[in-house]
Amino acid sequence: MVNKEFPKGFLWGTAAAAAQYEGAAQMDGRGLSIWDVFANTPGQILDGSNPSIADDFYHTYKEDIRRMKEIGIQSFRFSFAWSRVFPEGKGAINQKGLDFYKRLVEELLKNDIVPNATLYHWDLPYELERLGGWLNRDCVQWFGDYAELMIRTFGGQIPLWATVNEPIATYVGYALGGFAPGRKLEKFGRQANHNLLLSHGEAVRRFREIAPKDAKVGIVIDIWNHWPLRPDHAEDQALALRENEKTYRSYLNPIFNGKYTDYLLDYMEKNDCMPDIRPGDLEAIHQPLDFFGLNCYNRVLDCADAAVDIRSAGGNYLDNGSELYPKAIYDAIHILNDEFKIGIPIYITENGTSNCNEAVVDGKVHDQQRIEYVRSFLEWIKKAIDEGADIRGYYLWSFLDNWEWSAGYTSRFGLTHVDYETQQRIFKDSAYFYQEVIRQNKLLE
Ligand code: LGS
């Protein structure tokens, strides 16, 4: 008989980010972030919304934590809003902002929910962006000082820390313009990424100096592995290779191997986007970590011929238009363990799926596709564990529907439906499914 149980002590959680949950954007001295400003630029957010209210979690956290408890959530991954703590990104501390996180962490601990904190989940203080943001090398010092304050304040209470969530978002914000701050130059993207990695290294260095011994630090990276749509076409193969090198591998290589690959260096040289890399930088980035946070939602199929329909290769598709390919997470785990030989435990820090409209009928939301999605990803995670991968936990994105960056409120990822007019919460069917998974600590049929 196949053993369907997850290892004892496997941590079941949900993940969130400050800008997507908290709201209270002008409350108690919080400074603006680049996302507040970006969202108020016409045309940037699909539904023209901004994150100033979101889930109003700043005010509802107690009730939401009570609801997490009801589902059996064992750990809550959240991020600190840098501009709540340092309204100008540096200099004067906003005590009221820091106090909010003290209340939040206390409430989680009171409910036996393990806090898992991310220092940077995309919401750079706007005052720092005015100084060049991640393009200004001083960001290493700014981020280091901010990280130090948070580690000193919460190091004894929070066992799991991530420096940065998905560094690629910074590339999207500086090279492609699709995310805040909305800059559009490949060279900016590469420079911002390099400085962000340096800042990650600085936060790890400070962590080692001041954090209690049993607190762990890692980084969260998303792996969207690119595959050639037509495996026998050299152009598709080349495209997939290039995309992989330019995306997640451009972070994994410096962090775990202490170098940028020749492939990437050559690309940056030829495309006039080589960042300012100084002696000692790669050593500063390449530091031992305690765990890896893997975000994985899907794979990407690449085709060099734009006229070919990607779906022509077959496969399963969800109502939201994306492919359901749960093996993506198994492949990602293999990339980390076999290819990069990271040698540290992995937490799945995000996985989940969205819908535009999820009808509430008689007080219920029948989100069968989310249940299928989560079930199928868990199967592949379990297979990896059975084959020896050291995976310690799973964080479903997300407990609540929330403000989904450029998609605004149109993309619902929650186990809980949120009515943004009234802030009323309703558990979807998937919340009860997850409750049962957690209760039994095993794969369900
Ligand atoms: O909100 C973010 C989640 C949701 O989906 C979170 O803050 C990020 O860290 C992360 O990138 N997230 C995420 N990524 C996957 C986007 C999937 C888009 C599916 C499009 C369907 C047509």
Q: Is the CB of 380 under 6 A from ligand 1?
A: no
C-beta of residue 171 within 8 angstroms of C-beta of residue 253: no
Q: Is the CB of 165 under 6 A from ligand 1?
A: yes
Interval 224-247 mean pLDDT: 97
Phi-psi group of 101: left, alpha or beta (phi > 0 → left; psi -120 to 50 → alpha; rest → beta): alpha
Q: Is the CB of 55 under 6 A from ligand 1?
A: no
Phi-psi group of 139: left, alpha or beta (phi > 0 → left; psi -120 to 50 → alpha; rest → beta): alpha
Checking if the pLDDT of 211 tops 90, the result is yes
Active site residue 350: yes
Cα of 33 vs centre of ligand 1, distance in Å, is 20
C-beta of residue 326 within 8 angstroms of C-beta of residue 377: yes
Cα of 229 vs centre of ligand 1, distance in Å, is 22
What is the C-alpha to C-alpha distance for residues 431 and 416, in angstroms, rounded to an integer?
A: 7
Checking if the pLDDT of 445 tops 90, the result is no
Cα of 397 vs centre of ligand 1, distance in Å, is 8
Interval 249-276 mean pLDDT: 98
Handedness of CA 88, 89, 93, 96 (dihedral sign): positive
The single residue of 166, 202, 358, 404 carrying the catalytic annotation is 166
Q: Is the CB of 166 under 6 A from ligand 1?
A: yes
For residue 196, the tally of other CB atoms under 10 A from its CB is 27
pLDDT at 319: 94
pLDDT tens-digit readout, 163-188: 999 999 999 999 999 999 999 999 99
Q: Is the CB of 171 under 6 A from ligand 1?
A: no
SS3 13: strand
E strands in 168-238? 216-222, 226-228
What is the pTM for the complete model shown?
0.98
List all residues 6 or more positions away from 73 whose beta carbon is below 8 Å from its beta carbon.
12, 13, 14, 113, 399, 438
Interval 109-127 mean pLDDT: 99
Q: Of ligand 1's atoms, which has the minimum distance to the CA of residue 402?
A: 1
Of the residues 404, 412, 415, which should be mutated to test ligand 1's pocket, given the most ligand atoms within 8 Å of the CB?
404
Helix (H) or strand (E) holding 200: helix 186-210
Active site residue 129: no
Handedness of CA 88, 93, 96, 97 (dihedral sign): positive
pLDDT tens-digit readout, 194-203: 999 999 999 9
Checking if the pLDDT of 25 tops 90, the result is yes
The single residue of 127, 129, 245, 350 carrying the catalytic annotation is 350
Place of tokens 């190091």: 155
Interval 60-65 mean pLDDT: 98
Q: Of ligand 1's atoms, which has the minimum distance to the CA of residue 122?
A: 7
pLDDT tens-digit readout, 89-104: 999 999 999 999 999 9
Q: What angle do CA 167, 170, 172 make, to 5 degrees?
A: 115
Place of tokens 């969202």: 39
CA distances from 67 to 61, 74, 401 (A): 10, 12, 14
C-beta of residue 54 within 8 angstroms of C-beta of residue 39: no
Checking if the pLDDT of 1 tops 70, the result is no
Q: Is the CB of 350 under 6 A from ligand 1?
A: yes
Strand 114-120 relative to strand 160-165, pairing: parallel
SS3 55: coil
Which amino acid is residue 306, in one-letter code? Answer: A
Interval 427-445 mean pLDDT: 97
Pick from 21-35, 74-88, 309-323, 325-339: least confident: 309-323
C-beta of residue 205 within 8 angstroms of C-beta of residue 283: no
For residue 294, the tally of other CB atoms under 10 A from its CB is 26
pLDDT tens-digit readout, 344-377: 999 999 999 998 889 999 999 999 999 999 999 9
What is the C-alpha to C-alpha distance for residues 388 and 401, in angstroms, rounded to an integer?
A: 34
For residue 93, the tally of other CB atoms under 10 A from its CB is 15
C-beta of residue 12 within 8 angstroms of C-beta of residue 437: yes
Checking if the pLDDT of 273 tops 80, the result is yes
Confidence grade of residue 232 (pLDDT, cut at 50, 70, 90): very high
Checking if the pLDDT of 2 tops 80, the result is no
Cα of 221 vs centre of ligand 1, distance in Å, is 12
Instruction: Give the single-character DSSP code of 6.
Output: P
Helix (H) or strand (E) holding 104: helix 95-110
The protein residue whose alpha carbon is closest to atom 3 in ligand 1 is 397
What is the C-alpha to C-alpha distance for residues 318 and 407, in angstroms, rounded to an integer?
A: 18
Q: Is the CB of 410 under 6 A from ligand 1?
A: no
Q: Of ligand 1's atoms, which has the minimum distance to the CA of residue 405?
A: 1
Cα of 91 vs centre of ligand 1, distance in Å, is 33
Confidence grade of residue 73 (pLDDT, cut at 50, 70, 90): very high
> Nearest to residue 228, comparing CAs of 289, 300, 180?
300
What is the C-alpha to C-alpha distance for residues 93 and 73, in angstroms, rounded to an integer?
A: 32
Strand partners, 115: 76
Q: What percent of the chain has pLDDT over 90?
A: 98
SS3 146: helix
Q: Is the CB of 321 under 6 A from ligand 1?
A: yes
Interval 9-38 mean pLDDT: 98
pLDDT at 404: 98
Q: What angle do CA 178, 261, 220 make, to 5 degrees?
A: 50
The protein residue whose alpha carbon is closest to atom 17 in ligand 1 is 297
What is the C-alpha to C-alpha distance for residues 304 and 211, in angstroms, rounded to an integer?
A: 48
**In angstroms, how far is CA 154 from the centroid of its own chain?**
21
Output the average pLDDT for the chain.
98
Cα of 1 vs centre of ligand 1, distance in Å, is 36
List all residues 6 or more positions away from 111 whose beta carbon is below 8 Å from its beta carbon.
65, 66, 68, 69
Interval 415-442 mean pLDDT: 98
Cα of 300 vs centre of ligand 1, distance in Å, is 14
Q: Is the CB of 322 under 6 A from ligand 1?
A: yes
Q: What angle do CA 51, 394, 61 make, to 5 degrees?
A: 40
Of the residues 55, 224, 354, 369, which should be mutated to test ligand 1's pocket, given the most ligand atoms within 8 Å of the CB?
354
Cα of 8 vs centre of ligand 1, distance in Å, is 29
> Nearest to residue 191, comparing CAs of 272, 131, 120?
272
